[in-house]
Amino acid sequence: MSEKISPFHIALLVYMIELDVTFFSLPRLIAENIGTNGWIGLIGLSLIAGLNIVLIQLVYRFAKGRTVYEIMERAIPKWIMYPVYVLLAVFWVMLGSFVAKKFVLIFQIISFQTAPSMFLYSLIAVMALYLLTKGIYNISKAVTIFFFFLIPVAFLAVYFIPEWEPIRFTTFLFREAAEGHSFRNWLEVYTIFTGYELVLLLFPYADRSKKIFKGVYIGHFLLTSMYLLLTAVCFGFYSLGQLQSLMYPVIDLLSYIELPFINRIENLILTLFLFANLVSLTMFLWAALTALKRLFPKPKKNALEIGLVVLSALIAIYPKITRDSEALLRAALYAETGLAFAVPILLLLLLAWQNRPKGGRSA
Amino acid sequence: MTTTTPDHKPAQPPSVEAALAEFSTCIDIEQRTFPKNAIQAVYLLHLVSQDQLYREIIRPFMNATDDETAHLLTQSVFSEVCSHCECVDAILNGKAALYQGNQAWIIDLARPIGRTIEQSETESVIAGPHDGFVENMMENLAVIRQRIRSSHLKTVELSVGEVTKTPVIVAYIEGIANPDLLQALIDRIKGIETDAVYEANMLVQMIDDNPNSVFPQFMTTERPDVICSKLTAGRIVCLVDGSPSVFSCPTSFFEFFTSPDDYYQRWQLGTALRLLRIIGFLITIGFTAFYVAVTTYHYEMIPHTMLLNLVESRSRVPFPPLFEALLMETTIELLREAGARLPTKIGQTIGIVGGIVIGQAAVQAGFTSNVLIIAVASSAIASFVIPSYIMSASIRLIRFGLIILAGILGNLGLIVGIGFIVIHLAGITNLGTSYLTPVAPMNKMDWLDSFIRGPFYLLRNRPSQTRTTNTVKTKMRK
Amino acid sequence: MRKGISLLIAIVLLTGCRDEKVIDRLGFISTIAYDLAGSEQGNNMLHISISIPKAQPFNERVLLSTYAKTSKEARFTFSRQNNRQIVNGQLRSVLFGKTLAEQGLWSRIDTLVRDPGIDSEVSVVVVSGDANALLKSKYPQYSESRYIDELIQTETKSRDIPNTNLHSFTRDYFDDGIDPTAPLLKKGDMGLEIDGIALFHEDRYVARIAPEDALLFSFLTGNFHTGDITVSSSGGDGIDTGDIMMGSLSSKRSITIRHLDALRDGNHLDVTIKLKIRGSLMEYIGPLKLQQSADQIKLESDLNKYVEKKTEAFIRRMQAVKADPIGIGLYARSSMRYKQWKAADWHDRFPHVKVHVKADVKIKDIGKLQQS
């Protein structure tokens, strides 16, 4: 663990954690919840996520090298924190498992319809275990390679230029949302960004000599531009009503592409997105691991990792159909979004209290 | 350098009897006695040059008196030794030991054994130097010295193998190579405890960080120009006596896809060649597996214009695509292995028999589809584009795993397989440096000289993986 | 770890294979034809045929036909008949009979779009007459298995007829400012023939554009870059300068919307469609001296009049059947506020919109011959 993660890899890590299975339904989510010209709403939501990152950055600045757990344990007695850690760990495992399970269920729409979904899930789980045992530094290296597998997909956007009509964007702003506008609906779209908050746990592994938050912002910006590109392509390629009616518009989008040597590349690209979901699962498991390590500072080699992956597989058994899996994932993502805002604020309060000038004597 | 076996006490004085006892039942030990001056010479007959033996020992000592002998032995070619052990070592290294009473001298009469410098069979280039390393380590060092005329080229001599006592030289350029890495390498080589090492490719497997990985973790080459470029890049090289391969470290995965050719051609061509190799790598690793995945699970992916032809060629094959592919891949590997074992002339015949007869007949007999033949053949050809033979062999082996996964799980199997490979690669280190440099950790400057071959005026810095302090290698501007 | 992996491999070996679709054991549906069944089969019944190309002998096909309520039901019947597993991942085109199309296609297309095996580039074609009969008839001069698909592909490439596939049909169906179109196909004496363009009101077939007018119609639907146009003075098209044939046409369309009332409530719209058409003169039989610029200009203005007259006639026909395949609604929508747009259905407004066409035809060159 001597090597530190550089801002570049943090950027890719943030990008890959945020990118997950919601990518396939993203254009529909936006069309349904925001309506016409939803891409503007997407920018707004991305800025809110940016604000959240600013909060995390403040924590980083005031923490002065301490980890999140250390800050909390200084203020709160350990016997309170330990159950919290267990809860957090279980929650993160759940979140990761739901993401991966939903990917499996979507994958089964296209191929391996009758294979047991837990078998496919266990494939991902074993990969996640393999990654976890390599440590966060090596995870970041693997993530870099996975990123380079996925980024060429963006160039497929070129294929849609002839069919792309800006007139389909309409001149209306945020109209035709399926259920009108509510906090909940916008929150549903906002959850596509969850994942950046794990940066809180990366503090001790990041290269302190460099500006790690530059990396976080770049990663988030990259993801936002990726989502914007996708949304722009979809809004010009589909009509709004069609977009709202399609379950996974990205799959349809990809199935439209006919290359000379290969058709129906959604078969390949959907599978390729296994990597994005693998990274999300692994990183949430890793987050759970850091929490559990506070309880068991000296675990047997790989015991915690195996335990977490087994737990994740057990949790993943529960959502069996797409509808359940969607509802569970959504609920978990809402909670995670709440955490993403609450934890930095709590930490900032704790830090303000811990760093308060001690009776003015030192001044 | 002395190596001691437990039988000897270092202080044992030299004596003819002890030496002869040491080499009892060795038919090639020879003892020559000069009665006039009571000199006895002991040497291994075939290690010494007969010419030199005659010139340096037989002629001068044949009729020399005691005084003359004493005078002769003061010459600098003779060096006095005072332990039995040293004598034995010297004799083993092709020297002759002269005994007179309790005193002993040694003189180097070793004759070079082995072939002369010629072109490397495994790594040939079109343009560029055509010499290759030989089995004689000193000659190899000389070839390197001839190219790097710098006193900063330093060497550390080590020896490996309890029985073979193979000499090993670690060479580096002082002021460029990182001393920590050098120390790490020396420590690792010293830490080897085995009885025999014959080859550099064998040695590296004993010192790498991940002994269970299928990937080679040290770059080995038979080309002096490659080794010199590694040295000046700040890497450390290591020569093993008796092996025409020399290895350099720290090594990254992408180094195996570079060839000296890239630098001898214009940079655009060099870049194109490197991209070609990456394509070759992808084809080798995935093409057959992809064919299996598509024909077994993803019929939709076949363009409709190709579909019927593919179905037609598949329709007479009785096996599922997975077995069909494994069958053909195994056949190709058999052909390749047979070609490698046989003399060149017969090897060509094998190629013709295999390529034309088996390929053609297998399709006609309905054993395999001709599209698969194309897939298998092109991935075999693509595998030879990878300059390093050892890396190319590793990749060919991995391919079988991917084919099986693709046959069972289609694209998912393929992607899962690739995922495992990537995770595995991410975990590999070489002397503690990342195997995936310059992708992870990312280094922009290194990209100019790994995936592409930038023009020389842009290749300013030494590779970051070497952790050199002396980073600038080119100051030239455009 | 290692044990885990080997265990996993064991499971993989045991469980895989169930979803296997080895290509040589499949029957790929390439075309489906839907018709309303006659009254003797009962109401709501469909007459469905599928064509499965065979690899050997080349160009042969298997043709299966049944009566069923839904297409999935039909597939069960087909699967029972066929010796191979029938899959629809290589479907290329769907044919709908005219009577079915008149009743509305959405419920059929819904099934096709929902099926993850079917890609969104499957051509949607309406047959003037019986789709099943068209699919069943043999065309010995052409490769049986691919004839329909190739015909549609060639025609859409030349942009004579719109490239309608499941995606574009769904897109226009869901969009409130535009209606879908589809190519019309019919059985001719020698083979299949394009019988024009089918216009839809929502998902119901309502009008047809004749094949000879298809090009003029495609001027209206968007930009295109290839095609030929023939105008004849004898055809009563209001041109007295002779027979003209122009090739290598490229056209650019632009639509401007003007609100005639200050309220901009969308009930008094004035639409101008500008067509910028460029082409080379390929053939001319008539009195004009083409080497003279003045005569070329005269020819151009005649052509302008011809294009304007014809296209405006189309639009009036569309207005009569409340079908807007051009997408004037899209432009109208962009010129209004959301409330006004939503105040009325575009289909009700469209007939009352004033539409003008302004053509701008220019002869790029007159070929290699100067005098005629």
- Identify any residues that bridge with B406 across adjacent strands, giving them in sequence order: none
Whether pLDDT at B5 is above 50: no
Q: What share of chain A is helix, strand, coil (3-state, %, to 5)?
A: 75, 0, 25
* A110 Cα to chain C: minimum distance (Å): 6
A168/C334 touch (CB, cutoff 8 Å), yes or no? no
Of the two residues B272 and A210, the one the predictor is more confident about is B272
Q: By mean pLDDT, which of B110-119, B411-420, C269-278 is the weakest?
A: B110-119
* pLDDT in the model for residue B123: 83
Q: Say what percent of chain B tops pLDDT 90.
A: 44
Contact A20, A281 (CB under 8 A): no
Residues of C with Cβ-Cβ distance to A302 under 8 angstroms: 1
Of the two residues B221 and C161, the one the predictor is more confident about is B221
* C163 Cα to chain A: minimum distance (Å): 11
ipTM over 0.85: yes
d(CA C204, CA C198): 10
| Closest Cβ–Cβ partner in B300, B408, B413 for C89 | B300
Q: Say what percent of chain A tops pLDDT 70.
A: 98
**pLDDT tens string B303-360:** 888 888 888 888 888 889 999 999 999 988 988 888 888 887 787 787 777 777 888 8
**pLDDT tens string A211-258:** 889 999 999 999 999 999 999 999 999 999 999 999 999 999 999 998
Token pair recorded at residue B315: 């329709």
The DSSP letter of residue C234 is G
**Over residues B105-116, mean pLDDT:** 82
List of residues 6+ apart from C61 with CB closer than 8 A? C30, C51, C52, C53, C54, C144, C145
**pLDDT tens string A106-161:** 999 888 888 888 989 999 999 999 999 999 999 999 999 999 999 999 999 999 99
* pLDDT in the model for residue B103: 85
* pLDDT in the model for residue B2: 42
Q: Say what percent of chain B tops pLDDT 70.
A: 98
Fold designation for A7-348: Amino acid/polyamine transporter I (1.20.1740)
| Closest Cβ–Cβ partner in B297, B307, B408 for C28 | B307
A258/C121 touch (CB, cutoff 8 Å), yes or no? yes
d(CA B156, CA B171): 6
* pLDDT in the model for residue A358: 62
A271/B415 touch (CB, cutoff 8 Å), yes or no? yes
**Over residues A6-20, mean pLDDT:** 92
List of residues 6+ apart from C213 with CB closer than 8 A? C196, C310, C314
Helices marked H in B167-303 — which ranges? 179-190, 200-207, 224-232, 261-264, 267-296
**pLDDT tens string B379-397:** 999 998 999 989 999 999 9
Residues of C with Cβ-Cβ distance to A308 under 8 angstroms: none
* B418 Cα to chain A: minimum distance (Å): 10
> Can you give the pTM of this predicted structure?
0.91
Residues of B with Cβ-Cβ distance to C57 under 8 angstroms: none
C327/A175 touch (CB, cutoff 8 Å), yes or no? no
Q: How confident is the model at residue A361 (pLDDT cuts 50, 70, 90)?
A: very low
* pLDDT in the model for residue C172: 93
* pLDDT in the model for residue B367: 85
d(CA A5, CA A8): 8
B308/C23 touch (CB, cutoff 8 Å), yes or no? no
* C168 Cα to chain A: minimum distance (Å): 8
Whether pLDDT at B9 is above 80: no
* A285 Cα to chain C: minimum distance (Å): 17
Residues of B with Cβ-Cβ distance to C23 under 8 angstroms: 294-295, 299, 302, 307, 310-311, 314
* C19 Cα to chain B: minimum distance (Å): 7
Distances (CA, A) of B364 to A268, A270, B314, B361: 32, 37, 12, 5
* pLDDT in the model for residue B167: 92
Whether pLDDT at C12 is above 70: no
Q: Does B320 touch chain C (CB under 8 A)?
A: yes
Domains of chain C (ranges; CATH) run 22-209 (no CATH), 213-372 (3.30.300.210)
* pLDDT in the model for residue C297: 87
Q: How confident is the model at residue B64 (pLDDT cuts 50, 70, 90)?
A: confident
Q: How confident is the model at residue A206 (pLDDT cuts 50, 70, 90)?
A: confident
| Closest Cβ–Cβ partner in A138, A149, A264 for B301 | A264
Report for B111-115, B239-243, C35-39: range of highest mean pLDDT: B239-243
Instruction: For chain B, give the mean pLDDT.
Output: 88
Q: How confident is the model at residue B6 (pLDDT cuts 50, 70, 90)?
A: very low
Q: Give chain B's count of helices (H) and strands (E).
A: 18, 12
Q: Is B318 helix (H, G, I), strand (E, B) or coil?
A: coil
Of the two residues B53 and C222, the one the predictor is more confident about is B53
* B327 Cα to chain A: minimum distance (Å): 25
Whether pLDDT at C369 is above 90: no
List of residues 6+ apart from A355 with CB closer than 8 A? A62
d(CA A35, CA A25): 14
Q: Does C120 touch chain A (CB under 8 A)?
A: yes
A134/B427 touch (CB, cutoff 8 Å), yes or no? yes
* pLDDT in the model for residue A143: 95
Whether pLDDT at A360 is above 60: no
CB atoms within 10 A of CB B185: 24
B303/A144 touch (CB, cutoff 8 Å), yes or no? no
Q: How confident is the model at residue A13 (pLDDT cuts 50, 70, 90)?
A: very high
B427/A267 touch (CB, cutoff 8 Å), yes or no? no
Residues of C with Cβ-Cβ distance to A245 under 8 angstroms: 170, 174
Please state at what angle helix A274-295 crosses helix B389-427, rounded to 10 degrees. Answer: 50
**pLDDT tens string C271-285:** 999 999 888 888 888
Distances (CA, A) of A176 to A46, A234, C339: 22, 16, 11
Instruction: For chain C, give the mean pLDDT.
Output: 83
**pLDDT tens string C276-327:** 988 888 888 877 787 888 888 888 888 888 888 889 998 999 999 999 998 8
Q: Which of A271, A262, A226, A266 is nearest to A248 (CA)?
A: A266
* pLDDT in the model for residue A78: 86
Q: How confident is the model at residue A163 (pLDDT cuts 50, 70, 90)?
A: confident
Residues of C with Cβ-Cβ distance to B314 under 8 angstroms: 22-24
**Over residues B460-467, mean pLDDT:** 90
C13/B311 touch (CB, cutoff 8 Å), yes or no? no
| Closest Cβ–Cβ partner in A6, A127, A258 for B442 | A6
Of the two residues C156 and A320, the one the predictor is more confident about is A320
Q: Does A162 touch chain C (CB under 8 A)?
A: no
Instruction: Find which of C6, C13, C20, C23 to mutate to test the B interface (most B CBs within 10 Å of its CB).
Output: C23
* pLDDT in the model for residue C159: 60
* pLDDT in the model for residue B414: 94
Report for B69-78, B124-133, B416-425: range of highest mean pLDDT: B416-425
Q: Does C30 touch chain A (CB under 8 A)?
A: no
* pLDDT in the model for residue A56: 93
d(CA B414, CA B265): 36
